[in-house]
């Protein structure tokens, strides 16, 4: 057997693992690493500061068996769903308008960016005065967190559309609705989806903050109550549930986002 054939015999196949498995395996490695780090941190911090991973999962499972806890989950889910829908719809409308109308974009883009840089928590007293305690305030606070990234990404995507496409639309005399549906939206979809992905995370943060400071139901309210009572088990369990939900949905959105950009490329 020659040297070349010997080296070939001991080489592993280049594609011994399907590429479709790589994201799953990476996620499993990340989860295992986080759980190990959590357990090590628990050993140092002690039960007064946090609970162990296994104990937290057990307590969360017990909470999920109670009707009262599901009521808080449903309240947060409804507020977050409405806020995200409003943020996406309004963000798309603003983004298409500012992106397609150059003069309006030059005037209002600095205003939009300035609003995005403002800490939204400073606006919460105004929202409470306008909407009062309860669902409307949570929805409004979540919406103002998520609307700006959707609008900015949409505006940028519309501006980056090739001029030849817009000239073709003018020649065909497309109506505004036809222009958006048949040209602008398909061409700008990858960047728009990136804005929606960012808006998802910020809307969730805004909704939870709204519940923490101005609500009587929801996971944010439950978390704030647990902090006041120094209920470490409840704090860790609610935080774990929120992290699991946010990480799962974000992972799906990232996969879809990457596929949309590859399709365009």
What fold characterizes domain 67-264?
MetI-like fold (1.10.3720)
pLDDT band for position 59 (cuts 50, 70, 90): very high
Where do the H-state alpha helices sit in 67-217? 67-100, 102-117, 124-131, 135-159, 163-172, 176-179, 185-214
Helix axis angle, 53-63 to 22-45, nearest 10°: 100
Give residue 9's pLDDT. 46
Enter the DSSP assignment of 17. Answer: S
CA dihedral 102, 105, 106, 109 (to 10 degrees): -160
Give me the pLDDT at residue 198, please. Answer: 92
The ranges assigned to domains in the chain are 67-264
- Whole-model pTM: value is 0.82
Residues 190-218 have pLDDT tens digits of 888 999 999 999 999 999 998 888 778 89
Per-residue pLDDT averaged across 162-186, rounded?
A: 71
**What value does the mean pLDDT take over residues 88-115?**
86
pLDDT digits (tens, 9 = 90+) for 110-164: 888 888 888 888 888 888 888 877 788 899 999 999 999 999 999 988 888 777 7
């Amino acid at each position: 057997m020659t040297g070349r054939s010997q080296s070939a015999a001991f080489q592993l196949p280049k594609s011994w693992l399907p590429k479709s498995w790589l994201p799953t395996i990476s996620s499993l490695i990340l989860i295992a690493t986080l759980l190990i780090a959590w357990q090590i941190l628990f050993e140092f911090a002690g039960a007064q500061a946090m609970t162990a991973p296994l104990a937290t999962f057990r307590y969360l499972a017990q909470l999920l068996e109670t009707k009262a806890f599901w009521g808080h989950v449903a309240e947060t889910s409804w507020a977050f769903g409405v806020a995200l829908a409003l943020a996406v719809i309004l963000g798309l409308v603003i983004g298409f308008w500012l992106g397609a109308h150059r003069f309006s974009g030059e005037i209002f883009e600095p205003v939009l960016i300035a609003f995005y840089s403002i800490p939204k928590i400073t606006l919460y007293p105004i929202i409470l005065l306008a909407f009062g305690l309860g669902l409307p305030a949570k929805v409004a606070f979540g919406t103002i967190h998520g609307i700006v990234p959707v609008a900015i990404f949409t505006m940028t995507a519309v501006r980056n559309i090739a001029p030849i496409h817009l000239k073709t639309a003018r020649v065909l005399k497309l109506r505004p609705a036809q222009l958006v549906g048949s040209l602008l939206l398909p061409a700008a979809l990858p960047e728009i989806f990136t804005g929606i992905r960012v808006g998802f995370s910020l809307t969730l943060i805004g909704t939870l903050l709204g519940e923490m400071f101005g609500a009587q139901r929801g996971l944010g309210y439950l978390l704030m109550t647990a902090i006041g009572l120094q209920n470490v088990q409840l704090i860790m369990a609610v935080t774990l549930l929120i992290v699991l939900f946010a990480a799962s949905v974000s992972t799906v959105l990232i996969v879809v986002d990457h596929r949309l950009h590859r399709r365009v490329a």
